């Protein structure tokens, strides 16, 4: 029996998890090239073949706007696949850590969302992610002795993996004199490496049979502090220039959500309270600007 099965190894968080999980146990890591998450039978066979003690699902259909026109595929990957993982995990006595999203909330709050606040997603993406959470919770409710965690996070970016907001801004900043960015959506930019670190801590607890102090269920994890996308963009350019990076852009213009219509509705406010997981981590997540500084330092130190 392997210790860990990591699903979604090539995503932003998945690549960081390969590093943070390495000291914990033996890992089998799979990506979309070897596991089609829209095929339940393939997921079942993978879990049965590997026989892990813990499954970590870092994979998802994350194209928020495209999901509006591909609801069935989004549901297969975000809703059905996590439930299947949970079913197979339970059969072999394995735990599951699953990554979810702030987009399960409608954004009508003006204070940070708690784990037990009532979700109300306003997009296909958010609805499918909430359905995935529900499937996992229902399966594990049948076996209370097995720990599991659903980790909601937000505004993920990182050095590794495909494009993200930070990398997009750096590209646009090198190409344009002016960048226009939405200023009325508020959240918490979160570095993928910090998410991976939090998951590694949970994994360590779950793999220790003598450790029963960590409650199972839903957790919120983001970097601390809040920002709009506009604030985030301004900080990206400021921190990049502080590192000596030459950018063409000298103006970041705040715009409204109405000025930048998209197929999917996004929550206006999706800040998550991280007090619950802070007790497990024995520390509060670092500020998003500090994490951004690290990401940019790593990004610009990579071989070109």
Question: For the domain that residue 195 is a member of, what is the CATH number?
Answer: 3.40.50.720
Catalytic residue selected from 103, 113, 125, 219: 125
Does the residue 281 lie in any domain?
Answer: yes
- Residue 78 to residue 37: CA distance in whole angstroms: 9
Asked if 17 and 200 touch (Cβ cutoff 8 Å), the reply is yes
Looking at residue 204, its pLDDT comes to 93
Does the residue 232 lie in any domain?
Answer: no
Is 125 catalytic? The answer is yes
Does the residue 184 lie in any domain?
Answer: no
- Residue 185 to residue 15: CA distance in whole angstroms: 28
Count of the separate structural domains present in the chain: 1
Q: Which domain holds residue 11?
A: 4-162+189-225+270-286
Looking at residue 212, its pLDDT comes to 65
Q: Where are the beta strands (DSSP E) in 121-222?
A: 148-153, 156-157, 178-182, 186-187, 190-191, 217-220
Our CA angle for 267, 272, 275, nearest 5°, is: 170
Does the residue 249 lie in any domain?
Answer: no
State both tokens at 303: 């071989």
Residue 261 neighbours by CB distance under 10 Å: 7
pLDDT in tens, the chain (304 residues): 569 999 999 999 999 999 999 999 999 999 988 899 999 999 999 999 999 999 999 999 999 999 999 999 999 999 999 999 999 999 999 999 999 999 999 999 999 999 999 999 999 999 999 999 999 999 999 876 889 999 999 999 999 877 899 999 999 999 999 999 999 999 999 999 999 999 999 999 999 876 667 789 999 999 999 999 999 999 999 999 999 999 999 999 999 999 999 999 999 999 999 999 999 888 899 999 999 999 999 999 877 6
Looking at residue 146, its pLDDT comes to 87
- Residue 85 to residue 117: CA distance in whole angstroms: 25
**Nearest of 232, 96, 114 to residue 164 by alpha carbon:** 232
Cross-strand bridge partners of residue 6: 29, 56
Does the residue 260 lie in any domain?
Answer: no
- Residue 137 to residue 154: CA distance in whole angstroms: 20
Does the residue 207 lie in any domain?
Answer: yes
Q: Could you tell me the end-to-end alpha-carbon distance of the chain, in angstroms, rounded to an integer?
A: 40
Asked if 102 and 123 touch (Cβ cutoff 8 Å), the reply is no
Packing angle of the helix pair 165-175, 288-301 (nearest 10 deg):
60
Radius of gyration of the chain (CA): 19
Does the residue 79 lie in any domain?
Answer: yes
Does the residue 301 lie in any domain?
Answer: no
């Amino acid at each position: 029996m392997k210790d860990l099965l990591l699903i979604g190894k090539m995503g932003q968080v998945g690549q960081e998890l390969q590093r943070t999980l390495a000291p914990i146990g033996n890992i089998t890591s799979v990506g979309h090239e070897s596991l089609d998450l829209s095929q339940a039978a393939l997921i079942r066979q993978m879990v049965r073949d590997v026989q892990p003690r813990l499954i970590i699902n870092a994979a998802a259909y994350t194209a928020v706007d495209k999901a509006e026109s591909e609801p069935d595929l989004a549901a297969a990957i975000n809703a059905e696949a996590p439930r299947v993982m949970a079913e197979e995990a339970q059969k072999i006595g394995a735990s599951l850590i699953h990554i979810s999203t702030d987009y399960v909330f409608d954004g009508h709050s003006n204070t940070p969302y708690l784990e037990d606040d009532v979700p109300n997603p306003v997009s296909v993406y958010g609805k499918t992610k909430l359905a995935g959470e529900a499937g996992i919770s229902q399966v594990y409710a049948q076996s209370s002795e097995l720990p599991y965690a659903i980790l909601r996070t937000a505004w993920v970016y990182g050095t590794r993996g495909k494009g993200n907001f930070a990398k997009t801004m750096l590209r646009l900043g090198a190409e344009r004199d002016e960048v226009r960015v939405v200023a009325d959506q508020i959240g918490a930019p979160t570095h993928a490496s910090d998410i991976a670190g939090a998951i590694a801590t949970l994994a360590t607890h779950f793999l220790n049979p003598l450790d029963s102090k960590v409650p199972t269920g839903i957790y919120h994890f983001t970097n601390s502090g809040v920002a709009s996308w506009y604030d985030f963009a301004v900080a990206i350019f400021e921190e990049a220039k502080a590192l000596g990076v030459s950018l063409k852009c000298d103006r970041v213009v705040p715009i409204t959500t109405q000025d930048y219509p998209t197929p999917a509705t996004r929550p206006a406010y999706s800040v998550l309270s991280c007090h619950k997981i802070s007790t497990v981590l024995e520390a509060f997540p670092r500020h998003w600007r500090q994490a951004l500084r690290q990401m940019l330092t790593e990004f610009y130190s990579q071989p070109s």
